[in-house]
A and B are shown apart, each in its own frame.
Chain A
Amino acid sequence: MIRAELTKLLRNRRTWGTIAIINALPTLVAVLLAITDLGPRPGTGPAFLAAVLTDGTLFPLAALAMVLPLFLPIAVALTAGEAIAGEAQQGTLRYLLVRPVGRTRLLVAKLVAVMAFVVVTVLVVAVVAYVVGVALLGDQTVTVTGPTTSVSGTPMSTPELVGRTALAFGYAMLCMLGVAAVALFLSTLARTPLGAAMGAMTLLVASTLLLTLDAAQALHPYLLTRHWLAFVDLFRDPIRWDDVVRGVLVQGAYVVVFLGAAWASFTTKDITD
């Protein structure tokens, strides 16, 4: 079933269209930076963006920081929101279930497919950003193996940088799993895929808005998007773990609660579409 879901995902033109759109923003930013040479001053603007002017190889991280708050979660909400509701609307859900595919199995396969989509998207973003970064912004340390500086300003060796980058991408993946869990749950409830995706996006927007509101201070630690950019802390020297750990716990809680709810809702649902 998982293989079938992955085939479906990879053979869908929309998957690749979405990935292309997600890549458009960092590429545009790189082009603008290269043309104008006007980066944000160090310490301001999006994470890593100041650094990329001197080192294009850091651009994948800057690109991740750009797509993580908005583009990627919207794409995940759309993909996961469609998982069950889309099959239901198309009428293919009933044929999958009488094939038979167990409901729990189908839910797991859908989640795996959504995460595969995230992995593919993030990898494409990283590769494209690396190529674009090196080509347009240059590798000013001359050798790729040369020392890079951490966000704290101290030098960082390449193996260390690779390790921390892997951690950062893993963390981003967990954040997207949280969004996927919420959207998948809504997808088992909604009649249309758009309804499910809109529901998940509403939660994202609400969470982002509440984070700017001081009156909602008490809620902040529990909001879905609160710790998403904590991956930047992985590039400090020494690494600041506290926000990252809190982020992992919050995302984990969202994943467990909403996947549990999705399972409970889907396995007891009357399929009448």
Chain B
Amino acid sequence: MSSSASVIRTDGLTKKFGRVTAVDAVGLDVREGDVYGFLGANGSGKTTTVRMLLGLVLATSGSIEVLGEPMPASGRDVLTRVGALVEGPAAYPHLSGRANLALLDSAGPDGPRRTRDRRIEESLERVGLAQVDRRPVRAYSLGMRQRLGLAGALLRRPRLLVLDEPTNGLDPQGINEIRRLLLELNREGTTVFLSSHLLGEIEQLCTRVGVLDGGRLVLQDEMDALRGPTGRTEVRTPDPARAREVLASITDVDVEPADDGLLVRGLDPADLNDRLVSAGVRVSGLAPERRRLEDVVLAATTSGTDRFGREGERP
């Protein structure tokens, strides 16, 4: 993965609104083929960063490269290959969904009229709006608007999708559909940059994660690395007291109680299992403990302590 081309790269990206620093020296690194999860609480500077990537907000300092070209200088060229959903969908309320897509497509470059109707139908099909009638967008539900926004982003088969909270307003089934759609697009070669405050969404979809906290990128790494083993072993047993006694006699072994068993550090799982079973302790489950994304993110965003994941941060 590390050898693939960079799709989004920012260096020292900073935005100040008056005296408030909204985004502070952020160094994003999104690579071709990633599903990149951009996490952060509301007000952490996520949206401002996304808007800077798209040339809507102009950076105070720092540089941005999208698809290998500088933004916003090359915006006219770059943005034709980018599909975006920024802070909720928007459409002209008195026009139908199809009319909105046609209008948007005709407004900019690289949207050939020859293929327009076909592209519109394909996009609507992909987002589950193929059967939508001629009613104006004014009469759409929140979920339908969200789907229409996504259809607009897909209209020109972009190489990069920048999506801000794409599952807002969707019911659980809709969320699942969109999730499957994004994975499918990713398999077809689209890089996805997904900004969200929903940990679960990011955890299920993403291959890389960046965490923004107070305008600073406090964490950026591969999902697998973040959810790596902690070095402890989870033991599920109906006899926790007995197990503790057995383990207490071994030096350099650390034991903590857990929900339905123990957390053990200092022994590899096979060895641990052998000792417990030979001492007559019944074991119903035993596995290396993995970090949860939530814990990693919470550790990274708790201020005042030495932050975890410093190395993921670029100057």
Number of interface residues of A (CB under 8 A): 24
Nearest A residue to B88, CB-CB:
A91
Interface residues of B in 79-96 (CB under 8 A from A): 79-80, 82, 84, 86-95
Query: What's the nearest-Cβ distance from chain B to residue A12, in Å?
Result: 7
Using Cβ atoms and an 8 Å threshold, which residues of chain A touch B82? 98
In chain B, positions 238-273 with a C-beta closer than 8 Å to chain A are: none
Beta-carbon nearest neighbor of B17 in chain A: A270
Interface bits A71-113 vs B (CB < 8 Å: 1, else 0)? 0000000000000000000111011111111100000000000
Nearest first, the 3 A-B pairs at minimum CB distance are: A91-B90, A99-B108, A100-B79
A102 to B94, CA, bound (A): 25
**In the complex, what residues of A have CB within 8 A of residue B185's CB?**
none
Among A1, A8, A99, contact of B79 (Cβ-Cβ < 8 Å): A99
> Does A11 sit within 8 A of B, measured CB to CB?
yes
Say whether, besides A95-B104, A98-B82, A99-B104, A271 and B92 are in contact (CB < 8 Å). Answer: no
Q: How many A-B residue pairs have CB under 8 A?
A: 77
Pick the contact of A270 from B58, B90, B91, B92 — CB < 8 Å?
B58
Q: Is the CB of A3 within 8 A of B56?
A: no
> Is A268 an interface residue when CB atoms closer than 8 A count as contact?
yes
On chain B, the residues within 8 Å of A100 by CB distance are 55, 75-76, 79-80, 108-109
Nearest A residue to B76, CB-CB:
A100
CB of A212 within 8 Å of the partner chain:
no
Contacts A1-B108, A272-B51, A272-B57 hold; do A98 and B91 have CB atoms under 8 A apart?
no
Select one of A92, A102, A271, A272 contacting B91, CB under 8 A.
A92
Residues of B with C-beta under 8 A to A7:
103, 106
* Residues of chain A within 8 A of B99, CB atoms compared: 11
CB–CB A12/B94 < 8 A:
yes
In the bound assembly, the distance between CA atoms of A99 and B79 in angstroms comes to 7
Q: A268 near B58 (CB under 8 angstroms)? A: yes
